[in-house]
Amino acid sequence: MSYECENCGASFDTLSRLRLHECPPEPANETPAASPPLDDSDPEPATVENDYPTLVGGLPSLIEDAREGDLSALYRSMAEYETALKEARTTDESGSTGAHHEILFAYYEPLAEGLDRAAHANGWDVLVEFVTAYAPREQERLPEVAHVIANAVGRSLVRARLSDEIASIPPDALVYLGAIPEYVDEFAVAYEEAFTYGWGIAHPEHSVSDQLRALAETEHKWVRITLTTAFHADQHAAVDTLERLVTDDSLTGTIQRITYDTGVTRYYFGAVAGLTQDVIGPHVPIYWEFEDEVDYAFELDPAVEQRIRDLAHETGVTDDLPDDWALHDLDPSPLSELTRMLGESSGEDP
């Protein structure tokens, strides 16, 4: 299959070469309008197109076909989207506010849905094309469209895991998700999308456990949330990873969060604190109606729970806990103590 540049007409063998070739952009004829105030809902594409006609480029004519999973429209839309987001950062820095935010969220959902539909129709090869074309390690930076790719990869990853087809997941897809926290901080949407990496635990060709350990010294929040998700995917493999983290003597120091500070070992035990309370479920991609599509339920295996309890005793994290401690008491945040106090005051089990 060949890919053609809409601007210059050049043809390329791979999506990567199309995306990275140097092609002068079409001249801008309009000046972006000022951004409207941000609100809690995602901006509509039509609103963004009206406010930032120059920045959105050719997206308005492509987005509906892209949403339906049309591959040609997706290739072009993702390139336009990346360009728009890059230019919006410059616009924001020069005095305007919110251009990047509004463009990002206006096209985030339709492009993620379109890429997911294309993957449904054409298989994993479509997603591999995109993770290859927009691979951060090839450019030493995370592409602006990584959140969309991670969203679509995450949907297929969850479906494959729950249908017992984990071996069908291309390792490249997992490598892509696992690399994201190396390039962005916890406030980036791609960082959150990458929590679905945990669904790949125990993949036969890619070690999620190894990557979690590799990032455990620097990306504490990401590792902890991803590990929680891994328990929902394969709790036996996940508890092996938990043991690996909490018994590793080289993982030391204090982790500082907004409301508390705690040691590394106690912090990672927080990954399992909600497993028996049905409060925090596994992470799934944004915008995906997971519960409408997938019949999923989780119950912690008593043997796994006992192993967690044994590890907690062996590592000494229970020394300051009451004798009748529950898994939620392993959460180092103040919320754990508040939960217990509320339970005691009402006469109910916490």
Q: What percent of the chain has pLDDT over 70?
A: 81
Residues 257-267 as b/e (b if ≥16 CB within 10 A, e otherwise) read eeeeebbbbbb
Domain ranges of the chain: 1-122
Q: Which residue has the higher pLDDT, 10 or 207?
A: 207
User: Given phi > 0 = left and psi -120 to 50 = alpha, else beta, which region is 95?
Assistant: left
| Predicted confidence band of residue 256 (pLDDT cuts 50, 70, 90) | confident
User: Is pLDDT at 196 greater than 80 in this prediction?
Assistant: yes
Q: How confident is the model at residue 24 (pLDDT cuts 50, 70, 90)?
A: very low
Q: 208-215 vs 171-179: helix axis angle to the nearest 10? A: 10
**Whether residue 149 has pLDDT greater than 80:** yes
Each residue's pLDDT tens digit, 128-137: 999 999 999 8
- Asked whether residue 156 carries a pLDDT value surpassing 70, the answer given is yes
